[in-house]
Amino acid sequence: MTIKLTVSSMVCDACANSVTKAIHTVDSDATVNIDLNTKVVTVEATASESALRAAIAKAGHTTES
């Protein structure tokens, strides 16, 4: 399942890395693609969207609805 999330708090590669790590804590096999310009995170994962959002929030980042 492909899930697209907008993570407005990402500003640099370090942010992108922590978001990627957060996603991998809920689904270690997830494929994560991040576009820092649009702040869109595309995730190919079996985890639910709400689980991904919760993990990203835990890492200190903000997802938009």
Q: Which residues would be at the binding site for Cu ion (CB under 5 A)?
A: 11-12, 14-15
Closest separation in Å from C-beta 62 to Cu ion:
13
Nearer to Cu ion, 1 or 12 (CB): 12
**Distance (Å, whole) CA 64 – CA 52:** 12
Residues in the chain: 65
Distance between CA 20 and CA 34 in Å, rounded? 8
Nearer to Cu ion by C-beta: 10 or 47? 10
From the number of C-beta atoms within 10 Å of its C-beta (0-12, 13-18, 19+), residue 58 rates as: exposed
For the bound state, the minimum distance from the C-beta of residue 29 to Cu ion, rounded and expressed in Å, comes to 25
Least separation in angstroms between CB 9 and Cu ion: 9
